[in-house]
Amino acid sequence: MDYNLMREFADSWGLVAMALFFVGAIAFALRPGSVELADEAARIPLQDE
């Protein structure tokens, strides 16, 4: 596997994979029920134990 083949793969399928990962991350963050988990995680630094 030489550099040109690796670059062609990264230019085509690598971009598709990164775009799908980005869309998946956005969908995961905006799914129903995630608001409560995000609010709970946001309060962690403010808790005194």
Query: Are 34 and 28 in contact, with CB atoms under 8 Å apart?
Result: yes
Unique residue bearing structure tokens 């990164």: 18
How many CB atoms neighbour CB 33 within 10 A?
7
Residue 33 confidence (pLDDT): 87
Residue 21 confidence (pLDDT): 97
Statement: residue 1 has pLDDT above 80 = no
Assign 43 a pLDDT band (cuts: 50, 70, 90).
Answer: very high
Q: Reduce the DSSP state of residue 47 to 3 states and report it.
A: coil
Beta strands in 1-49 (DSSP E): none
The pTM for the full model equals 0.62
Residue 19 confidence (pLDDT): 95
pLDDT in tens, 2-39: 899 888 888 889 889 999 999 999 999 889 888 888 88
Helix (H) or strand (E) holding 26: helix 15-29
